[in-house]
Amino acid sequence: MKTTFKISKGVICTNLPDEAIRKIEKDLSFPNPVYVNAMNQGRYISSDIPAELELFEIEKSKAWIPRGYIFYLIRWMKEHNHKYKVKDHTLLLKPLNLKFKGELRPYQMDAATDMLSYPIGVLDANTGSGKTVMLIYIIVQRQQPALIIVHSKELLYQWEDRILQFTGESCGLIGDGKFKIKPITVGIINTIKNKISELQDKFGMIIVDEVHKIAATSYMDTLQEFPAKYYQGATATSFRRDGLGHT
């Protein structure tokens, strides 16, 4: 029977072959760094701290997996001659009419062009390379309402300034006592996670600044609630000392 991948907030997989289930269990299970550190330091470990983190749910031949993993699983299905079909239920909204008021440097254009080739990706570039400007360019090219998720008030207002500079448009702000949605909106994660029901159907594109922080529970739980077509991230340090950088 053909496997079906239904893509929305996450990916629901049905009629998976047994070997695909084993692959998911292997690829998406990670040692819990909190548990490992406590063990190494001889500290008490409470019963609510699991030894492993599992980024999947499986019931018989059905599974839920994160969206970013689907590309790896489909490639594996092709390599092993398993038949499958994809049902894309991600959210694509009415196109905007944004204009980019600037010019990218050649290396920035190369990076942005690569990012535009994929619906999900991370821009890993050095500090000072212009990641914010590149992501604004990508937003303009996608022409989708975009939510940019940050973790601090400082970044909230830095993005506000850059969006105005490079699009000529003011952006919406969520956080620091503000709640205003516009075609491009910047929000602080702690506020966004409390407003999911008001936000999840408003954006065709999600951007996470400093995406190396995504292993934090608040980020993981929040991002899984958005069915947006496009997910992009930016970081100057994709390496995580806790080993969760590829989750």
Per-residue pLDDT tens digits for 22-41: 999 999 998 888 888 888 98
User: Both tokens of residue 209?
Assistant: 């600044």
Same domain, 231 and 113: yes
pTM recorded for the entire structure: 0.87
- Quote the tokens at residue 121: 């990706």
Give the chain's end-to-end CA distance (angstroms, integer). 29
The answer to whether residue 161 sits within a structural domain is yes
Q: Based on the fold, state whether residues 57 and 111 are members of the same structural domain.
A: no
Query: Are 151 and 83 in a shared domain?
Result: no
Query: What distance in Å separates the CA atoms of residue 77 and residue 121, rounded to the nearest whole number?
Result: 21
Asked if 128 and 193 sit in the same domain, the reply is yes
Q: Which residue segment(s) compose the domain that 73 sits in?
A: 3-88
Higher pLDDT pick, 32 / 225: 225
Final residue of a domain: which of 88, 115, 131? Answer: 88
Which of these three, 38, 56, 88, is where a domain ends? 88
Shared-domain flag, residues 121 and 20: no
Q: Are 121 and 74 within one domain?
A: no
For residue 192, give the CATH number of its domain: 3.40.50.300
Rounded to an integer, the average pLDDT of 190-201 is 95
**112 and 218 part of one domain:** yes
Spatial CA neighbour of 35 closest among 13, 19, 22, 53: 53
Judge whether 99 lies within some domain: no
Q: Are residues 223 and 118 in the same domain?
A: yes
In a domain, 213, yes or no: yes
**CA 83 distance to own-chain centroid:** 27
pLDDT tens, 120-155? Answer: 999 988 878 899 999 999 999 999 999 999 999 999
Two tokens, residue 36: 């490992």
The last residue of one of the domains, among 23, 57, 88, is: 88
Whether residues 116 and 224 fall in one domain: yes
Are 167 and 128 in a shared domain?
yes
DSSP sequence for 102-133: S---HHHHHHHHHHHTSSEEEEE--TTS-HHH
| Confidence (pLDDT) at 214 | 55
Residues in the chain: 247
Kindly state the average pLDDT of the residues 173-179: 98
Domain check: are 126 and 228 in the same one?
A: yes
pLDDT in tens, 76-95: 999 999 999 999 999 999 99
In sequence order, what are the beta bridge partners of 179? 174
63/11 same-domain check? yes
Is residue 49 domain-resident?
A: yes
Q: Taking Cα atoms as reference points, which of 98, 94, 88, 125 lies closest to residue 109?
A: 125
Q: Which residue has the higher pLDDT, 76 or 46?
A: 76
In a domain, 62, yes or no: yes
What total of structural domains would you count in the chain?
Answer: 2
- CATH code, domain with 60: 3.30.780
